[in-house]
Amino acid sequence: MAFASEFFASEFPIMHQEKVGAIIERLKIGQSSPQPAGRKSNTTVFAFTYDNGVVLAGDRRMTDGYYEIASDNTIKVKQLSKFSAIACAGSCNIIRYLEDNMEAVCAIFKERYQRELSPDGQANHLRNLMEGWWYFYVFYWYWSIGVPVLATYDLEMGQPRIFSFAEDGFYFEPSFLAGTGCGFETVRGLIVDRWREDLDADLAITLAVRAMIHSGVASHGVSDARIVPPKVALIDKEGFRWVPERLIIKKRDDLLKEIRGIRCLLC
């Protein structure tokens, strides 16, 4: 092995080779057609930019198979570093693997070099992690793997940045909005319709909560925001911070008075 490879392998050990091998063995991929048992988060997660930051929101539902609700208390937005966070849809064990590995790499980098791993570096490392799971995408469905959205604030560039990933690890940087999960498609148009470049943080939170309300009534795989408030976080030049739950509940209640169609849907 060349010294350069040895150097990076010793500085940033990655465990995915072993783990992927173990899963191939366990599921006997290519030998039969077993059903992958495991919890999946059907999910709505999305991130969009506002005037000087990025808002990241996620619902709370984790499902077992197609119809069984395992939990309505899951937190799908995970802080990685002071200026970045990730939110994923898909199979929970792979999501956990992606989150843990990303968090560890960001922490190791910060500790060794006294500076944050750059947003481009984080996106590229995430791509590397996801490439190990591409065969799940071929053999099963996209929800069998983890599909993330990475939201960051780039201090050097002085602007928020979002990275959207495909199932095979390919990523690109959309201009203002990225999301994933079964509920995202139902609210994509709503966010695009209401988004403006000069949204302030308060309006951005309102839009995120509004989208979560719509997504919750459109898909059984997404927690109903009327019952369980979604998780919303902001990342700007001050860093990552959660939006307090009481503020989300207040905004949700105000919006529910306004959105009359939802009440009619249930009649």
Partner 1 sequence: MPVVLRLEPSPEAKKEAINSLLSDRTGLIIRGKNCVVVAIKSPVIVNVLKHPGEGLEHSSQSTKLFIWGLGGSVAARRGFGIEFGRFENELRNRFSHRDLNFVMLNDFISGYLRKDLYSRKSDEPLALEFILAEITLSSMTFSIINFDGDSRFFKESSFTVIGCTGDKEKKELTESLNSLNLGNLSAKEISELVQPLLEKFKGDFFLISFSLKSRKAPKQKNKPRARRQ
Q: Is 4 in the site for partner 1 (CB under 8 A)?
A: yes
Number of Cβ within 10 Å of residue 58's Cβ equals: 31
For 95, the token pair is 């999501």
Query: For the window 157-186, what string marks contact with partner 1 as x by the rule CB under 8 A?
Result: xx----------------------------
* Residues in contact with 2: Cβ distance below 8 Å, sequence separation at least 6, in sequence order: none
Which amino acid belongs to residue 88? C
Pair 207, 56: CB distance under 8 Å:
no
> Residue 10: what are its φ and ψ, rounded to 5°?
-80, -30
Based on the shown chain and the rule CB under 8 A, indicate whether residue 3 belongs to the binding site for partner 1.
Answer: yes
Q: Give ∠ CA 67-192-230 in degrees, rounded to 5.
A: 40
From the CA atom positions of the chain, what is the Rg in Å? 19
Applying CB under 8 A, which part among 21-29, 91-99, 123-131, 182-190 lies near partner 1?
123-131
Instruction: State the nearest-atom distance from the C-beta of 184 to partner 1, in Å.
Output: 27
Q: How far is the CB of 118 from partner 1 (least distance, A)?
A: 4
Does position 121 interact with partner 1 (CB under 8 A)? The reply is: yes
d(CA 98, CA 81): 14
Shortest Cβ 20–partner 1 spacing (Å): 17
Q: What x/- string results for residues 71 through 110 when contact with partner 1 is judged by CB under 8 A?
A: --------------------------------------x-
Q: Which amino acid is at 24?
A: I
From residue 209, alpha-carbon distances to 17, 81, 180, 256 in Å are 39, 24, 16, 10
- By CB under 8 A, the residues from 13 to 42 that bind partner 1 are none
Q: Which is nearer to partner 1, 141 or 172 (CB)?
A: 172
The answer to the question of residue 52 lying near partner 1 (CB under 8 A) is: no
Task: Scan residues 130-159 and list those touching partner 1 (CB under 8 A).
Answer: 154, 156-158
In the bound complex, what is the minimum distance in angstroms from residue 50's beta carbon to partner 1? 21
Task: Compute the distance between CA of residue 14 and CA of residue 127 in angstroms, rounded to an integer.
Answer: 13
The number of residues that bind partner 1 (CB under 8 A) is 25
Q: How far apart are CA 90 and CA 96, in angstroms?
A: 10
Residue 111 makes contact with partner 1 by CB under 8 A: no
Residues that bind partner 1 (CB under 8 A): 2-5, 7-8, 11-12, 109, 112-115, 117-118, 120-122, 124-125, 128, 154, 156-158
